[in-house]
Structure 1
Amino acid sequence: MPTHDTSPVAGHRPARPLGVLARARAALDSFEHLVGGIGTAILALVMLLWLVFTAVTCLFGIGLLLVPGTLRALRAVAGRERARLSRWGPEIIGRGPGPTRLREAVTDPATRREVGWVASHAVLGTALGLVGMTLPFTSVTDASFPLWWGLVPPAEATPSIGLWTVRDWPGAFAVSLLGVGWLAVTLAVVPGMAWLQAWPGRRLLAPPPGTDLVMRVAQLTSTRAAALDAHAAELRRIERALHDGAQNRLVAVTVLLGASRRAVARDPAGADALLERAQGAAEQALAELRAVVRAILPPVLADRSLGDALSGLAANCPVPCRVEADVDGRFAASVEATAYFVVAETLTNVARHSGAAHAAVTVHHDDGRLRVRVTDDGRGGADEHGGSGLAGIRKRVEALDGVFTLASPPGGPTTLEAELPCGS
C-alpha cells in the first residue's frame, strides 16, 4: 500500500507520487474532481449573476423582495460544494439556517464568506475546470495524430496549438511526440489544478473554529439523554417484570402458606395440597426472577465469551442462523451486554416479522470498535418507528456513543449494523 497521500483535495497540497502509475492515478482522480467542480462552478456563476441583479434592484427597493430567496439559493449552492468536497477529502460541516434579511446577511460572516466563494469559484473554478478538461483531450488528439492526419484536408492537418501545418510523416510523428509532452504536462499539473480549484471552498466554506467541538458536545448531550432514557426504560421494564410476575407469585405463596397453616389441624390432606401449590408458585417466582436477572446481564456473558453467548442465541432462534464471531479477548461488560441485546432483539424481530428463511450474525473487532451485523433474507421494509423495538436498539447503541445503521428496502434483504467503541 502506498505510504504517500496522492489525493488532491485532502486539505493540503498533494504529495509527490511514487511513480508513473501513482501519478496517473492521481491525475485521473484529479480530472474527475475538476469535471465535478465545473458543475458547481456553473451554479456559482449563475448565483453570482443573480446576486449582482438582486443587489442592483435593491437600490430601487424591488430587490428587497428577492433577498430571502436569494440567500436560500446561496446556501443551497454552497451546500452542494461542501458535499462535493466532503466526498473527496475531509468533511466540511454545513452551516445551519442562516439569516433571511438583508441587514442580517450583510453582517453575517458565514454569508459573506459564501458570497466570496461564489465570486472566486465562478471565475477560478470554471477556468481551471475547462483547462483541466482540455489538457487530456489535447494529449490524446496529438498523440494519435499519425492515425488520422491523412484523412483531413491539408489545411486542417495541424497540431492542437496550430503552430504549423503537417505535410509529411516526420511532421506527423513530431506532433505525436508533442502529444506525449502534453500528457506529461497533464500528469504533472492536473493534481495541483484540482487542489487549487478546491482551495477557495475549503477555506471559505469551512465552519468557524470550534464548530466541531460544539457539535461534539451537542452529540454527547444527545447520547447522554438517550442513555438516561434507555436506563429509565430498562428500570420500568424490570419493575413491570417484578410487579406482574415474581411479586404476584410471592403473594400467592404467602396466601397459600397461610391457608396451609390454618388447614393443618383440621384437614392435613388439604394442607398438603396447598403446600404443593405454594411450592409450585415459589418455583415459578424463582424462574421469573432468574429471567429478569438474565435480561439485565446474561450470566452466559460472565461465564463464557461473547461469541459463545451469540451462538446460544442463534441456536434458540426459530430461523436458521449462522454466527461468525472474530473477537479476541473480552470487552467491557456494558459493551458485551449491548452487543448481546442488539443480536437478541434483532433475531426476535427476524423470527416474528421478517418471514426470512436464513439469518446471519457477524461480529468482529477492528480499530477499537466492536462491529455487529445481523442480516436476513426476509421481506424487508423494517421501520424504526413501526414498534418493532428498533428504536430501542438505536438508543441502546447510541447510549454507548456507538453508531446504528439499518438498511431494509422493500423485498429485502435487511441489514442491521451497530458499531460500539470498546478501546484498542
Structure 2
Amino acid sequence: MIRSALTAAGRGLSLFALGFAQLAAFVWTVTALALLPAFAGIFLVPGAVAGMRLVARISRHRARAWSGVDIPEPYAPVPRFKTGLVGQIERCRYVLLDIATYRDLIWSLADPVIGSVLAVLPAALLLYGVEGIVMPVLWENFHPHGFRDWYVGIHVTNRTAAWVCVPLGAVILVAAVRNAERLLGVHARWTRVLLAPMAGLAPEPRPRVSGGQQAELRRIERDLHDGAQARLVAMGMSLDAVEQLLERDPAKARLLLTEARQASATALSELRDLVRGIHPPVLADRGLGAAVQSLAQDSPLDVAVVAELDGRLDPPVEAAAYFAVAEVLANAAKHAAARRVRIRLRHGAGRLHLTVSDDGRGGASVAAGTGLAGVQERLRALGGHLTLDSPPDGPTIVMMELPCELSSARTSSS
C-alpha cells in the first residue's frame, strides 16, 4: 500500500509538471488565434492546435492508464486537404470549426489552476503527515534559531505543541497512504469533466449508414457465392447426373447421391454459420456479455472478459457492440501478434463503454485497412464513436462508446 501511495504521489507530481505544457499550449494557441487577422495565424493555428491536442491526448492516456478513467476524443474527422495555400486555409478552417478545439483551450487554462491542486494532493498529504510525525525533531533542532510553525491550526511554539502534532501527523499519513490512488482518480475525473464530449454543445452528426450496409451486403453476398451457393450448384449438377445414370449405372448413381448428400449437409452448415454471423443466437438469448464470452472462448488468444451490465440493451446496440468487439478481437489475433486480450463492458451515464486492450505490437490505425474503419462507421451509425490508442510498440487500446439505456434483464425463451 505504501508503494502504491508513493507511486500515486509521483504520478500526481508528473501531472503537475504537465500543467506547464498545458499553459504553454494555451499561450501558443491564443497567440496564433490573435494573429489570424494578420494572415500569419492561418499558418500558426493548425500547428498550435495540434500541439494542444497532443498534450490533451497525454492527459487522456494517463487518466486511463493510471486511474481507469476513459476519456474519448470526439474530434471531428480529419478530411483530405488540398496542397498549397488552399490546403493550409482548409486546415485552419477545420480546427476553427471543431468545437473540441475550444474545449481543449478551456482545459489548457483551467486544469493548471484547479487540476494542479488535485494533482499534488497525494504528495502534499504524505509530506504533511511525515512533517507532523517528525515535528518534535524539527522543534529540537530548529527552535534555538527561532523555529515557528502552524500545523493543523496549532501554533507550534513549545515542545508540548510539537508532540501534539505527532498523532495528528500519523492520522494524516495513514489517510494519505490509504487514499492516494483515490485522490489521483479525482484528478482523472476532473480531467474527464473538461475533456469528455460535451453532448449539449457538440452533438455528433449521425453519419449515413448506407456505406456500412453496402459493405455488410457485399460480405453476405460473397459468403453465399463462395460457400453455400457453390455447393448447391454442385449438388444440382450431381442430381442431374444421377438422373441420367440411374438405370444404366446404379452403382455410380448411388456414389453421386452420397456426394450430393454430403454437399447438402455442408451447405446447410455454412448457411447456419452465415446466419450466426448476422445475429448469433447467444446474443439474442443471453445478451451482450454472454455473446462476448462466447467470442473469447472461441479465440486462440488468452481473452479475459469483464462484463458490468445489469440489464439488456436494445438489439441494434447489442449487435453493433458484438460485431465491433469481434472485429477488434480478430485484428488482435491476425495483425497485432498479441497473446493476451482484456475486454471490459460497462454501462454508465446513458452510454455503453467497451474497452479492448491487447499486448501486441501496436501501430494500429483506423486507416490501415484492418477493419477498424468499418467498426467506426458501424458505431457512428448509432451515434457512437471509437477511440484508438496504439503506440508502435504497443499495447493497443480500443475504446468504443454507444448511447443506450439498460432495460431489465431478458431471459431466453427456451
1:251 counterpart = 2:233: yes
Counterpart of 1:398 (choices 340, 364, 380) is: 380
Number of residues of Structure 1 aligned to a counterpart in Structure 2: 265
Tell whether 2:348 aligns with 1:371: no
User: What is the letter of the counterpart of residue 289 of structure 1?
Assistant: L
Q: How many Å apart are 1:83 and its aligned residue?
A: 11
Specify whether residues 326 and 72 from structure 1 end up closer, same or farther in structure 2 by C-alpha distance, changes over 3 A only: same
Look up the match of 2:286.
Answer: 304
Say if 1:80 and 1:380 are closer, same or farther in 2 by CA, change over 3 A. closer
Q: CA RMSD in A?
A: 4.5
User: In structure 2, what residue type is equivalent to 1:336?
Assistant: E
Would the aligned equivalents of 2:279 and 2:319 in 1 still touch at CA under 8 Å? yes
CA distance in 2, matches of 1:264, 1:247: 25
How far the C-alpha of 1:401 sits from its partner, in A, is 0.8
1:3-402 equivalences under 5 Å are 67-69=38-40, 216=203, 219-220=204-205, 223-225=206-208, 227-402=209-384
Instruction: Quote how far apart the aligned CAs of 1:385 are.
Output: 2.2
Q: How big is the shift at 1:358?
A: 1.3
Question: Is there any run of 5+ residues in structure 1 with no aligned partner, and where?
Answer: 1-31, 55-65, 101-110, 112-124, 130-146, 152-211
Q: What is the TM-score when the length of structure 1 is the normalising length?
A: 0.52
For residue 420 of structure 1, what is the aligned residue in structure 2? 402
Residues 39 and 228 of structure 1, relative CA distance in 2, 3 Å threshold: same
Q: Does the C-alpha gap of structure 1 residues 408 and 260 become closer, same or farther in structure 2, counting only changes over 3 Å?
A: same
Question: CA–CA distance in 1 between the matches of 2:22 and 2:202?
Answer: 28
3-state secondary structure, aligned to 2:283:
helix
Counterpart residue identity of residue 40, structure 2: G
| 1:309 partner SS | helix
Name the aligned partner's letter for residue 249 of structure 1.
Answer: R
Helix, strand or coil: the match of 2:272?
A: helix
The structure-2 alpha-carbon separation of the partners of 1:41 and 1:312, relative to structure 1 and needing over 3 Å to count, comes to closer
SS of the residue 1:374 aligns to = strand
Deviations 1:360-396 (A, max 9, x none): 1111111211111111111111122222111111111
What SS does the aligned partner of 1:401 have?
A: coil
1:58-101 Cα deviation digits (max 9, x unpaired): xxxxxxxx94226766898899999999x9xxx9x99xx9xx9x
Instruction: Return the offset for 1:262.
Output: 1.4
Tell me whether 71-80 or 331-340 shows the greater mean CA deviation: 71-80
The 3 A distance-change label for structure 1 pair 44 and 254 is closer
CA distance, structure 2, for counterparts of residue 413 and residue 389 of structure 1? 18
CA distance, structure 2, for counterparts of residue 40 and residue 281 of structure 1: 66
Letter paired with 1:331: L
Q: Distance in 1 between matches of 2:323 and 2:384?
A: 14
Matched AA of 1:224: P
Q: Structure 1 runs of 4+ off > 4 angstroms?
A: 34-48, 70-85, 212-215
- CA distance change for structure 1 residues 68 and 254 in 2, over 3 Å: closer, same or farther? same
Shift of 1:418: 0.8
Gaps of 5+ in 2: 1-16, 60-72, 86-95, 97-108, 114-141, 147-198, 407-414
- Please give the per-residue CA displacement for 1:97-137, whole angstroms capped at 9, x wherever unaligned: 9xx9xxxxxxxxxx9xxxxxxxxxxxxx9xxx9xxxxxxxx
Distance 1:277 1:366, change over 3 A: same
Identity of aligned residues (%): 41
Q: Which amino acid aligns with 2:207?
A: R
Distance in 1 between the 2:32 and 2:333 partners? 54
**SS of residue matched to 2:247:** helix
In 2 relative to 1, CA 384–329 (structure 1 residues): closer, same or farther, beyond 3 Å?
Answer: same
The SS at the match of 2:346 is strand
Using the TM superposition, give the Cα deviation of residue 253 of structure 1 relative to its aligned residue in structure 2, in angstroms. 1.2
Q: 1:327 to 1:251 in 2, by over 3 A?
A: same
Alpha-carbon separation, structure 1, partners of 2:294 and 2:402: 21
Helix, strand or coil: the match of 1:418?
strand
Structure 1 residues 45 and 395: alpha-carbon distance in aligned structure 2, compared to 1, 3 A threshold: closer
